[in-house]
Amino acid sequence: MAYGNLANCSRCDALFVKGMREVCPKCYQEIEKEYDKCARFLRKRENRGATIYQLSEETGVSVKQITKFIREGRISVSSNPNLGYPCENCNTPITSGNICDNCSRELRREIIQQLDVDQRLADEEKRVNNAGYKRKAHKEE
């Protein structure tokens, strides 16, 4: 019979036997209580327009944990339209992924620029190597 490995809880750093979760049983129970607080708050019609920061302030649950709930699909942004979480680069509210569209476009542009620079450097290196080979071959004749 296989048992889980020993690991440190990613939330409290306690040692536990890791199974399917990254957190110890105690932290798992705390996370479930935090989820229940968030879900109860958002079930009220008057709270459906809340932002992630308002939800955090009203429930005492961290923005980071609420973001995890959203990413896991446990909290729906479709029924809570203002409940975006911060882009990892610029903190603009987003509803999916890790970065906003603007940061994604900027990252793509920077990657394309870097690939272009890398290609030009490779072409230049090839040209220099070919010129050196031609000179060397010419001297041997």
pLDDT in tens, 63-117: 999 999 998 989 988 888 888 888 999 989 898 889 999 999 999 999 999 999 9
How far, in Å, CA of 136 to CA of 126, rounded? 15
- Yes or no: say if 61 and 37 are a contact pair by the CB < 8 Å rule: yes
In the chain, pLDDT over 90 holds for what percent of residues?
57
Say if residue 52 is exposed, middle or buried (CB neighbours under 10 Å; 0-12, 13-18, 19+). buried
* 53: nearest Cα among 71, 40, 41, 44: 41
Asked if pLDDT for residue 141 goes beyond 70, the answer is no
> What type of residue is 54?
Q
pLDDT, tens only, 14-63: 998 888 888 999 999 999 999 999 999 999 989 989 999 999 999 999 99
